[in-house]
Structure 1
Amino acid sequence: MTLTPASVRAALIEQRERTKQRSKTEIKRFIEESDSKITSLQSQISALIELRDSERASVLALHYIASPIHDLPVELLTEIFNFAVEDETYIHDMHRISQVCSDWRRVAHGTSHLWTRTLEIDLCRKTNGADALNTWLARSAQLPVPISLRFRGSSSLNRGIMEEVLKATPRFSYLQLRTTPSTSPWVVKQFAQCKLDGLEELDLRLISMTPHDADLAPINFITVPRLSKLKLINLGARQITVPWDQLTELSLECNSFEVFEAFTQCANLLRAHINLLGRTRLPEAIQHIPVQFSQLHTLSLCLKADLTRLFDCLSTPVLQVLQLTLQEAPWTDTHLTAFQLRAPNITSLEFSFCEFIGFRQPGGHHSSFTITHAPKTNTVPPLLQG
């Protein structure tokens, strides 16, 4: 019973009546007797509470054991875990799953593929995260892992984290170096010198070179026997070497045709996106050399430079998709028509930001044409009018 003002007043009336003819000594004895009873009752209550809590724990345990989730095979449970994890909150989600209960933690920690989503690592992290990174990588056993590395050129490198990352390079299936214009080439070269035996996709983001760079040596990715996809933004004509003939997908942004020459070495490409930022002309050495792409089916070109000679030297017999973004680049329908005749399988042709459009459909082949922006086009070719 909870004490209330009314219950206290009732007790006071009762005890006054009880102690009318009693001495203080007797009243003190009454107090001691009541204290003793309180202690005894409290002991009994504590025992009952303990017994109650024990029974509650038993009920919870039985509910846990009888839960439908425990009837699921481990394989299905891991798939549920996999669907519950979002790429954006990958690390946080995996920690939450591991903290639900010991069984879930055991299953999660013992399922290697749950720990193989793209891991974003800050190489300039100020706090020590090397041990945590080592533990995380260990949970994926020896499975291939995709890695995204961030390096801020103005910050110092965390050596502990860098060492753990370099030790794991043979397991990388995907490597993204999120560099900035101020990033030292030394960082990129550290990875180029590693054994990247499992690397299939490489994203170098931004590789630049300024007149103040002391290290002008090429960056050579040599030990990459499985590399098939490359994304590269190369400003400043720094030489990058990869086994070009291995590539099946290439995304290249550069500001000179000197770097563009690497494109001509990729004989086995299936997809290519080339963005030439500069306005330089195609070198004479390339203009007269036929460039064969016997497997290329998707080509996207974004150019400011004169590309008329480029069409003359390209051979893409199985090309299906051609996207042209011509930013003030001069061209004529003659060169494009000749190119189309050598690429009879084109089924999708897209022009963007064109100063002039004039072409015809060779051989009566049914193709779909998309013009996304042609502000200076006064007439539309008959093929596009209906």
Structure 2
Amino acid sequence: MQAADSPDVLFSQLIQLPTTTSETQAKTLIAASEANIARIESQIRDLERLRDRERGVIARLRMAIAPVNKLPAELLVEIFSLVCCWHWSSFNYGKERVKKVHKLSQVCAYWRRVVHTTPRLFRESLVFRLQKTPDADYLAVTKQWLERSSPYSIPIHLENWGEKWRSVDAGPLMDIMSATAHRWNSATFRLSSLDVLRRIRTVSLPSLRTFDLSSGDNKHHELTRPLLTAPHLKTVTLRTCRTSKFVLPWAQITVLDIDDDDPLECLNALVQCTSVTHATIETPPWKEPPDMSQRPMTTLSRLEELTIDFEYHNMRGDLTGPFFAYLSLPALKKLKITMDMGDLWSSVDFSGLQRRSPNIDHLTLVGCELDTNDLLAVLQNAPSLVDLDMELCRFCLDDSIILGLQYVPTQTPILAPKLQRFSMSYAGSSFDEDDLDAMDGRAAPPPPSVSPWSKTPARRNHPCYRVIVSAFPKVKCAAECERWGAGK
């Protein structure tokens, strides 16, 4: 019977029947076979579900006995922190960190619970660079991330900079960020318009210690008023216009970094910082003498380190002296001045600053066009100077300076009596190298009040000369100065 019902037998019988009868019987057989297929497929699906369920049981059991699930949450958190740690080679650290935290939370329910309940994984800086207005999903994820960092203090960084980004609405994102403003320990803003700062609605910024602002907006300076409620704000960086007009707790700032195209604005901002200890100023010099006849002398009694970079501007004859004429810096230790080689050096103003700042022990001059008399004045007013570094100061070194720095028992007063290291590059060629050699040939050691020094590192171990004077040999100096148009 089974053989008679086989497909081959049925097929041979059907082709012997009349056409109408064979067609009907074929359709009946097709329907029966399709029904059988459906029943078999249903059974297969049921079996697959049973198989998958058993596989799930096996996976859960294996996960339950896996070594990683035997780790206490505290140790797992340390591992997660290492996975998400800072990579100095990465330029997209914030984005990569978000991806890593997300991946860790997707491994299993246990890991998700550990990640979501570990605020330290969410307290690192996120850089929001808005090239388009953020949508609802972006805002929701940002809100969750910031909320999960509680109660830690956090850094925030928002960039909405450039003409092409002016149409981007950063307000909704700032609303979410400002909800955590009481936990900000640093705030960095790169903004086309300061108007977005209106969204910072807080009664206090108790954790804020660092503020960094870059903006070309010169109209909304009062919008930094919330920073007056930051009692621990000490470090401020400003790349702005009309800098001195910002509403800031100037008197409590200790570290100041300013970049403004108006040197008077930089000076006015600096003198407001009566507690400043370290200051960096970047600005062009004055193109014509400013009216400072009514300006009082300002003493910054705590300033220990000052760097002034008069930006390259491809002009000659510009003025830097007014920046020094009205400052008294009695605690100043380190001073670095960078100038365009066309700027005018004011020996009178700088010597006045030196006399009012007698504790300068490290002085660096870059691109300053001093002549021999100017350098002599610098050395004559440097009672505490230990380290003098001069780069691209092309016309100031000659034999009289070199001889003046040698120890001579009958010579009084002694130039820069505490000088230990004198480094010059591109120093010119108006000196005799034999005079440099003579500095190594001093037969008697200098008295205790005069620091010993030598010309080259090779003589560092000489019994009478312990420190270094580094100067290019005459031939090298002449060649370099000729390249700069100063060789003779």
Q: Which category describes the TM-score, using the shorter chain as reference length?
A: 0.7 to 0.9
The residue that corresponds to 1:344 in the other structure is: 359
Q: Structure 2 vs 1, CA of residues 109 and 193 (structure 1 numbering), >3 Å: closer, same or farther?
A: closer
- Quote the sequence identity (%): 23
Secondary structure of the residue aligned to 2:99 is helix
Q: Would the aligned equivalents of 1:253 and 1:277 in 2 still touch at CA under 8 Å?
A: no
The residue that corresponds to 2:251 in the other structure is: 245
Aligned-residue Cα RMSD (Å) equals 4.1
Q: Structure 2 vs 1, CA of residues 37 and 74 (structure 1 numbering), >3 Å: closer, same or farther?
A: same
Cα shift at 1:238: 6.7
The residue that corresponds to 2:175 in the other structure is: 163
Q: Does 1:137 align with 2:150?
A: no
Unaligned residue ranges in structure 2 (runs of 5+) = 85-92, 312-317, 396-426, 437-468, 473-488
The residue that corresponds to 1:67 in the other structure is: 66
The residue that corresponds to 1:355 in the other structure is: 369
What letter is aligned with 1:360? L
- Deviation digits for residues 264-291 of structure 1 (CA, Å, limit 9, x no counterpart): 12222232111123516563444x5142
Compare the two structures and name the one with the higher strand fraction: 1
Q: Does 1:367 align with 2:376?
A: no
Q: Would the aligned equivalents of 1:230 and 1:250 in 2 still touch at CA under 8 Å?
A: yes
Matches within 5 A, 1:220-369: 220=225, 221-236=227-242, 239-254=245-260, 255-279=262-286, 281=289, 283-286=292-295, 288-294=296-302, 296-303=303-310, 306-308=319-321, 310-311=323-324, 313-327=326-340, 328-331=342-345, 336=350, 339=353, 342-344=357-359, 346-347=361-362, 349-356=363-370, 358=375, 359-360=378-379, 362-363=382-383, 366-367=386-387, 369=389
Cα shift at 1:103: 1.4
Q: Structure 2 vs 1, CA of residues 114 and 343 (structure 1 numbering), >3 Å: closer, same or farther?
A: farther
Q: Structure 2 vs 1, CA of residues 169 and 44 (structure 1 numbering), >3 Å: closer, same or farther?
A: closer
Q: What CA distance in whole angstroms lies between the structure 1 residues aligned with 2:344 and 2:276? A: 26
Q: Structure 2 vs 1, CA of residues 75 and 33 (structure 1 numbering), >3 Å: closer, same or farther?
A: same
Q: Would the aligned equivalents of 2:123 and 2:152 in 1 still touch at CA under 8 Å?
A: yes
The residue that corresponds to 1:198 in the other structure is: 207
Q: Would the aligned equivalents of 2:243 and 2:265 in 1 still touch at CA under 8 Å?
A: yes
Cα shift at 1:45: 5.7
Cα shift at 1:252: 0.8
Number of paired residues? Answer: 363
Q: What CA distance in whole angstroms lies between the structure 1 residues aligned with 2:108 and 2:328? A: 61
Cα shift at 1:231: 0.8
Cα shift at 1:300: 1.1
Q: Structure 2 vs 1, CA of residues 34 and 298 (structure 1 numbering), >3 Å: closer, same or farther?
A: same
Cα shift at 1:105: 1.3
Secondary structure of the residue aligned to 1:222 is helix
Q: What CA distance in whole angstroms lies between the structure 2 residues aligned with 1:261 and 1:343? A: 23
Q: 422, 425, 428: which one pairs with 1:378?
A: 428
The residue that corresponds to 1:147 in the other structure is: 156
Q: What CA distance in whole angstroms lies between the structure 2 residues aligned with 1:161 and 1:307? A: 43
Secondary structure of the residue aligned to 1:344 is coil
Q: Structure 2 vs 1, CA of residues 109 and 355 (structure 1 numbering), >3 Å: closer, same or farther?
A: same
Q: Would the aligned equivalents of 1:239 and 1:259 in 2 still touch at CA under 8 Å?
A: no
Q: Would the aligned equivalents of 1:208 and 1:235 in 2 still touch at CA under 8 Å?
A: yes
Q: What CA distance in whole angstroms lies between the structure 2 residues aligned with 1:284 and 1:158? A: 45
Q: What CA distance in whole angstroms lies between the structure 2 residues aligned with 1:70 and 1:345? A: 61
Give the TM-score, by structure 1 length. Answer: 0.75
Q: Would the aligned equivalents of 2:178 and 2:201 in 1 still touch at CA under 8 Å?
A: no
The residue that corresponds to 1:186 in the other structure is: 195
What letter is aligned with 2:343? A
Secondary structure of the residue aligned to 2:229 is coil
Unaligned residue ranges in structure 1 (runs of 5+) = 1-10
Q: What CA distance in whole angstroms lies between the structure 2 residues aligned with 1:234 and 1:158? A: 20
Q: Would the aligned equivalents of 1:207 and 1:232 in 2 still touch at CA under 8 Å?
A: no
What letter is aligned with 1:232? L
Q: What CA distance in whole angstroms lies between the structure 2 residues aligned with 1:155 and 1:83? A: 39
Q: What CA distance in whole angstroms lies between the structure 1 residues aligned with 2:244 and 2:270? A: 15
Q: Would the aligned equivalents of 1:151 and 1:178 in 2 still touch at CA under 8 Å?
A: yes
Cα shift at 1:263: 0.6
Q: What CA distance in whole angstroms lies between the structure 2 residues aligned with 1:126 and 1:48? A: 47
Q: What CA distance in whole angstroms lies between the structure 1 residues aligned with 2:142 and 2:200? A: 18
What letter is aligned with 2:127? E
Q: What CA distance in whole angstroms lies between the structure 1 residues aligned with 2:34 and 2:239? A: 84
The residue that corresponds to 2:135 in the other structure is: 127
What letter is aligned with 1:350? T
Cα shift at 1:140: 1.4
Q: What CA distance in whole angstroms lies between the structure 1 residues aligned with 2:38 and 2:337? A: 90
Q: What CA distance in whole angstroms lies between the structure 2 residues aligned with 1:272 and 1:198? A: 22
